Structure 1
Amino acid sequence: MDPLREPLVEIAGVSKHFGAGATRVDALRNIDLTVRRGEVVALLGPSGSGKTTLLNVIGCIIAPTEGRVTLDGEVVFDNHWLRGDLRRLRLDKIGFIFQFHNLLPFLNARDNVALVLTLAGKPAAVAQARAAELLDYLEVGHRAAAMPALLSGGEAQRVAIARALANRPRIILADEPTAALDSKRAGIVMDLLRKLAAEHDACIVAVTHDEKIYDRFDRLFHLRDGILQSQKEKET
């Protein structure tokens, strides 16, 4: 890993617990994690290990109990939120990709992507142009007018990736992005994510159980019982 590459995600001393007393659950325990520009990293571990909780902390969906979260050079949490409008923060800095595409069934592919830009306050013409550009970039532009029900699994996931990229986020969070795909399509999606990280000066943090794509990550982080136990860098 190039130490001069700019950190986009910095997690320092982050813990998260739910409940209190005898019913308290420590979901995360004193997590330190840095992900740099251009990196594609995985969060691995058994169910209940804290992977999704950590992803949700990075995504500013849940607040840590303690610790500091810095995204794209901005400290956004330091034992309390430093931003009042978390929705705007997510729109500005973060793109989300999920196991299931979650496309709105009553909008076509292009409008599913453009909606994100509209919510961010972009004019309709700008939103439509950016959506078309992204769909072309992801080689699914020919399906821009198709409704989600008529898209293949791989096509729908590409549209979902286009939606995640709409506001040019530098931090992309993926929750089991290939679980619904076969081996060939899973490899294509991961190669695409690596290309996006390199070409868009972004980083990608993915939760996955999909062993067939482990070789597509720069580093593998293992969590167990809320503790970040180890990391493994890809062999070169």
Structure 2
Amino acid sequence: MSPLIALQGIAKGFGEGGARVQALSDITLNVAAGEVVGLRGPSGSGKSTLLNLVACILEPDAGVLRLAGETVWQGRWAKADLRALRRRTIGFIFQFHNLLPFLDATDNVALAMTLNNVPLTVARSRARALLDYLQVGKRADAMPAKLSGGEAQRVAIARALANQPHIILADEPTAALDSERAQVVMDLLRRVAREQAAAVLVVTHDDKIFSRFDRLVSLRDGRIEGEMRPG
């Protein structure tokens, strides 16, 4: 089976002339369905740049990017509507949950589906099912201000899953959580990867969750320095 995330020889730089900074060089990385891969490295190593390239937010300078078996970038963008691609293929989870404060948990999740033209009644029904799946269904009617940090992050994961994406991208998803809640969130991401056959790519500095990854990829100075299988 082809990997859901496939990068070959990816490079990215910023600036011009003498001020140009090479953020990434010759990045080759695959993430398969059901796999949870962590990206670690010091600040400035290129982790966030790499995540934004996979998210089709930044454009590579060189290489090939394939998502869910489709070539997305090879010398130029191969898809005309990148926003539609992101809504259909990618779910995003951030360090802070970024829930809309004026919507309850159910409608925060349902909104992602209505943006994909799913009828509201269908979207709300699926949102509640996702909240149940992530063991936070009892908080379906709660406003974000009433949720604990761990509950809010579970709602954010439900929102990321709303459109049944093949790929989950997470940027420091446990940094704002204590050790116990961080482990719960990572266990949920592992469950999602296995049961939803999704590829999960996580940027993290959080050494307390390293054991939860199938692979840890280390970046330094814009290059892959190595990788390991924890445990």
Tell me the TM-score range normalised by the shorter chain.
over 0.9
SS in 1 for 2:4: strand
Q: Distance between the aligned counterparts of 1:80 and 1:225, measured in 2?
A: 25
1:89-114 deviation line (CA, Å, top 9, x unaligned): 00010000000000000111000000
Q: How many residues align?
A: 231
The Cα of 1:234 is off from its aligned counterpart by 2.9
Match of 2:36 in 1: 40
Match of 1:8 in 2: 4
1:57-84 deviation line (CA, Å, top 9, x unaligned): 0011111111110000000111110111
**1:100 paired residue among 96, 102, 122:** 96
Alignment of 1:125-204 (within 5 A): 125-204=121-200
Q: Distance between the aligned counterparts of 2:132 and 2:62, measured in 1?
A: 42
The Cα of 1:233 is off from its aligned counterpart by 1.8
Match of 1:53 in 2: 49
Match of 1:214 in 2: 210
The Cα of 1:135 is off from its aligned counterpart by 0.5
Q: Which amino acid aligns with 2:157?
A: I
Q: Distance between the aligned counterparts of 2:115 and 2:193, measured in 1?
A: 24
**1:21 paired residue among 13, 17, 24:** 17
Are 2:123 and 1:116 aligned? no
Q: Distance between the aligned counterparts of 2:229 and 2:210, measured in 1?
A: 11
Q: Distance between the aligned counterparts of 1:163 and 1:54, measured in 2?
A: 22
Q: Distance between the aligned counterparts of 1:210 and 1:89, measured in 2?
A: 30
1:147-171 deviation line (CA, Å, top 9, x unaligned): 1001000000000000000000010
The Cα of 1:6 is off from its aligned counterpart by 3.8
Q: Which amino acid aligns with 1:34?
A: N
The Cα of 1:184 is off from its aligned counterpart by 0.4
Q: Distance between the aligned counterparts of 1:34 and 1:110, measured in 2?
A: 34
Q: Which runs of 5+ in 1 are unaligned?
A: none
The percentage of aligned residue pairs carrying the same residue is 61
Are 2:69 and 1:73 aligned? yes
SS in 2 for 1:46: coil
Q: Distance between the aligned counterparts of 1:125 and 1:80, measured in 2?
A: 39
Q: Which runs of 4+ in 1 moved over 3 A?
A: none
What's the TM-score once normalised by structure 2's chain length? Answer: 0.99
SS in 2 for 1:205: strand
